[in-house]
Structure 1
């Protein structure tokens, strides 16, 4: 990335989203320890198959606690997944092989097992969030942290 996050156009900024849907999952924060606990419960606007918001332009009017992520917020947010493009670039790390900006295909986030596709339930059907606590949204799936696709050799490897 050659453009600093704070100087990106809206289009450049939005392109850092890999479309995994993990940020659209409900999270719980322990009042005593301040620890974030992840759930497999998705925002009612998230399409649980495609991992796209069904009303992205109006999401903040429809979902009161939906945020618009900005570069200034990245130092304070502790719940972005370790694979998040915004987080990686903020930390000076490269985007992995499956990120759409690297692969050229939106589907690779699903193929790599990074997205929430098929692994979550809508908040409309979930019931108590405490019954849906899971670890995986805050973890990096095996191979997902690789800068290039596992098993692929580059010319420097030969």
Structure 2
């Protein structure tokens, strides 16, 4: 992996990287985040007793939508034809909701930012839907767990 920063031109100004010469390959990225909350808040989410509706269903749709629009909100991201997005939730314990997103494409650049945007937005949506009952929720850490495909090769994080 190169230490050279590719998002700067010869004048040290930001640029969108030219990927026109890169090969098209299958690419996948998996990202992770978590939301720490009061036990009562997580219990209400789990039991479907949040007044605003099905928190996980809304957060899942928000995460999918965010992945598809990543290029619109992260300035140097390329618009990508995503071929798959899957958002999963799990209850780590009575206070931690985990969010994982797997994003796939067949293209010239990776989908790490799309996966990270998906989990971040899903977590923010959970916060938004539950903030009336728990303003002390904490989001994070958020990280890339895995990435496959492309010139830089595969990456697997050792732990969450």
The question of a shared fold, defined as TM-score above 0.5 by the shorter chain, is answered with no
TM (norm. structure 2) is 0.26
User: Please, what TM-score do these two structures have when normalized by structure 1?
Assistant: 0.27
Larger Rg: 1 or 2? 2
Which of the pair is proportionally richer in strand? Answer: 2
Which is bigger in relative contact order (C-alpha 8 A, separation at least 6)? 2
